[in-house]
Amino acid sequence: MNTLTVLYIILIGISALLLALFQYNNKASKKRYTFIVLRFVSLFVLGLLLLNPKFEKNVIYNEKPTLIIAADNSKSIKHLNYDGDLQHLIKQFKNHTDLNQKFDIQFYKFGKQLATLDDTLDFKANQTNISNVFTNLKQVYNNTIAPIVLLSDGNQTYGTDYVYTAAENKQNIYPIIIGDTITYTDLNIEKLNVNKYGYLSNKFPVEIIAVYNGDKSIETSLTINDSDGKVVAKKALKFTKNNNSTTINLNLKPARVGLQSYTAKLTPLNSEKNIFNNSKPFAIEIIDQKTNIAIISNINHPDIGALKKAIEGNKQRNVSIIKPSNFKSQKTDFQLVILYQPNQNFKSVFKTIAALNLNKFIITGPNTDWKFLNQNQTNFKLDISNQIEDYQATLNSDFATFIVNDLDFDSFPPLTSEFGDININIPADVLLYKRINTTILNQPLLTVFEKNNNREAILFGEGLWAWRSQSYINKNSFKEFDDFIDKIVQYLASNQKQSRLNITYQGFYSGNSNIIISAQYLNKNYEFDTNANLVLTLKNTETNTTKSIPMVLKQNAYDVDLSGITPAKYAFTITANNNELKKSGQISVLDYNIEEQFLNADVTKLQTIATNSDGEYYFVGNTEKLIPSLLKNERFKPIQKSNKTIVPLISIKILLALIALSLAIEWFLRKYNGLI
């Protein structure tokens, strides 16, 4: 409270006293001084409330440290028969009085994702991402004391190595190792690599890494069977204690076009405890031709390499980078042409493309000759300003030409392009709008259109290489960006008439993966319809059982999540608006659960994260020292904190009650003494 406020309070007190004396000083009543005091209190408190001075209020309190209990909820815990032990440990932490008195205990469960543990564990998670646990907990508890008790077998099936993410978390980590630590004799297929697509006329490669864990020399064999049980490849293998792994490379010849399923299997040993990890199913989609794409450029730029990498992520695509002068001699080799920053050297290219009726994707930037481009095509025109501007991207949620996902374009760096208004002279569908800071411009950054049975796309900006890099930073993978480019290429590489019902799915899924089927429904004006009623009818072709599932609207597509369905072959049909339109497809769910591939806990990694974080590790049968250790640890003390707040006087309600009380008593005494 400052000096001026104190002076005002003194003046209010003096004024209240003078007014009280003025009113009651001439009265001869014996209770004159009582009336003066009551009136003074009323006037003084009222004056204070009108002045409404503010006071600082300090509240001192103790904040208990947080204890995080993170429990592994994956299928591997139940597969190793340790689900009962883990449930017992959770109950022990919940019911321990001293532990709850010292810590604010927060319970979490994790599989592929981290979630709060509100109920009991079900051990149904198909994948384990321990790295995600430490990443998410770091964001929440980075500035507090929050030791982590990790109840897990340490076997991770998804995500980055959790040893590194645990090292970035400043909390002490106390792993409780759930699982068997005895080493058993075991054969397993540790990894199987195969392309997603193959070609009918070519053999496709399969790489298999087989591992042996044991002391004796053994012999076994690797066989690969097709979906009919026929052996298509076989190889004898030998392992010793020291020579305990091998890489097998095979080339298989496909029998027909379409989805082909296979199973790789190691002949089990008599002494093996776990034979689930001896086999691994895989599938490949056989196609009869490849899409050839030309990137034509007169300059060297990292965008070109990024485009080539993104497009060839789909094995159906083959990209050639050529100069404008060389295109005419190779013109019949390509189904799609990408023109990167065209200039005067592209004159013959435009003539050849027009003569062959090829679809094209034009990418412009600071090196584009816009005078040439405006003259050599009539679909769009830029008002030339000879100025450069950076534009960020915003996804058009009403885009309906094909299904796209938002890659978090708002986080992407800007693309560089020529400044000026763009005029599209034909009907076009804008995929991305230009944005400067927070202002979304009514100008396309990426747009597509059809004209005379030809398809075209234009990107008004260079810098795609930075987008691909940012996508990797956001998702730890190039896949989402590569899929985005692949959808544009898929649209441009086909001249089929646009369908009003489009579906997106994969031909095969692993049993423990997310099985998502998406559909996009367009009205008769080819606009995305958000009010459609889409239903997926799924039929198990092996049991002939069917079920119908309504599809849910998400952004610019309808989705259905089939994760968890029994491994088998399925046929499905998507119907829109009571059979107005329908489209069918087939998927194969492979019988493979990665959580059942483990025999032992990963003791080494769990010990490493405990040591690196200055924590301690315990085995599931030897945890009696953990709770006393946490209770006695001097690092985990309550923190005394103070909360300073500014309190206005008018918020103190007792002062209003005091005014009412003093006025009421004054009125009663005056009435009683006959003064009113």
Least confident of 278-282, 439-443, 506-510, 658-662: 506-510
CB 174 within 8 Å of CB 612: no
pLDDT given at position 368 = 92
pLDDT given at position 1 = 62
Q: Residue 287: beta bridge partners?
A: 199
pLDDT given at position 639 = 75
May I ask the CATH architecture of the domain 501-594? Answer: Sandwich (2.60)
**36-50, 186-200, 290-304 — which one is most confidently predicted on average?**
290-304
**31-35, 442-446, 631-635 — which one is most confidently predicted on average?**
442-446
Average pLDDT over residues 261-267: 90
506 Rama sector, left if φ>0, alpha if ψ -120 to 50, beta otherwise: beta
For residue 536, the tally of other CB atoms under 10 A from its CB is 21
Using CA atoms, how far apart are residues 538 and 360, in angstroms rounded to an integer?
38
575 Rama sector, left if φ>0, alpha if ψ -120 to 50, beta otherwise: beta
May I ask the CATH architecture of the domain 291-492? Answer: 3-Layer(aba) Sandwich (3.40)
pLDDT given at position 27 = 58
Average pLDDT over residues 592-614: 84
Q: Does 518 have pLDDT greater than 60?
A: yes
Closest CA to 394 of 423, 364, 436: 436
May I ask the CATH architecture of the domain 65-182+600-637? Answer: 3-Layer(aba) Sandwich (3.40)
Interval 231-262: pLDDT, tens: 999 999 999 988 989 999 999 988 888 878 88
pLDDT given at position 150 = 94
Q: Does 461 have pLDDT greater than 90?
A: yes
Interval 632-643: pLDDT, tens: 888 888 777 667
Percent of the chain with pLDDT over 70: 96
pLDDT given at position 373 = 92
Q: Read off the tokens for 449.
A: 């259109």
CB 561 within 8 Å of CB 516: yes
Beta-carbon-side half-sphere exposure of residue 238 (alpha carbons within 13 Å):
1
pLDDT given at position 143 = 84
> Which positions ≥6 away from 351 have C-beta within 8 Å?
none
pLDDT given at position 402 = 79
pLDDT given at position 35 = 81
pLDDT given at position 274 = 77
> Which positions ≥6 away from 12 have C-beta within 8 Å?
44, 47, 48, 51
pLDDT-derived band at 390, boundaries 50, 70, 90: very high
Q: Does 463 have pLDDT greater than 90?
A: yes
Interval 481-496: pLDDT, tens: 999 999 899 888 876 6
**533 burial via Cβ count (<10 Å: 0-12, 13-18, 19+):** middle
Q: Does 166 have pLDDT greater than 80?
A: yes
CB 193 within 8 Å of CB 207: yes
Mean pLDDT, all residues of the chain:
86
Q: Does 28 have pLDDT greater than 60?
A: no
Cα separations in angstroms, 177 against 137, 149, 551: 20, 10, 41
Cα separations in angstroms, 244 against 191, 208, 266, 580: 14, 14, 14, 60
Q: Does 590 have pLDDT greater than 90?
A: no
pLDDT given at position 160 = 86
Average pLDDT over residues 296-313: 92
Interval 558-584: pLDDT, tens: 999 988 788 888 999 999 988 888 899
Q: Which CATH class is domain 186-287?
A: mainly beta
Find the helix packing angle between 479-492 and 302-311, rounded to 10°. Answer: 80
Percent of the chain with pLDDT over 90: 36
pLDDT-derived band at 12, boundaries 50, 70, 90: confident
| Amino acid of residue 467 | W
Interval 444-453: pLDDT, tens: 999 998 887 7
Average pLDDT over residues 417-423: 89
pLDDT given at position 676 = 67
pLDDT-derived band at 79, boundaries 50, 70, 90: confident
386 Rama sector, left if φ>0, alpha if ψ -120 to 50, beta otherwise: left
Using CA atoms, how far apart are residues 536 and 550, in angstroms rounded to an integer?
6
Interval 641-664: pLDDT, tens: 667 777 777 777 788 888 888 888
The backbone torsions φ and ψ at residue 274, rounded to the nearest 5 degrees and listed phi first, read: -120, 115
Closest CA to 321 of 309, 448, 478: 309
pLDDT given at position 510 = 76
3-state secondary structure 441-477: EEEEEEEEEEECCEEEEEEECECHHHHHHHHHHHHCC
Long-range Cβ pairs for the range 531-537 (8 Å, 24+): 532/558, 532/576, 532/577, 533/576, 533/577, 533/578, 534/558, 534/574, 534/575, 534/576, 535/574, 535/575, 536/560, 536/572, 536/573, 536/574, 537/572, 537/573, 537/574, 537/575
Least confident of 24-28, 83-87, 292-296, 324-328: 24-28
For residue 311, the tally of other CB atoms under 10 A from its CB is 22
pLDDT-derived band at 497, boundaries 50, 70, 90: low
Q: Does 61 have pLDDT greater than 70?
A: no
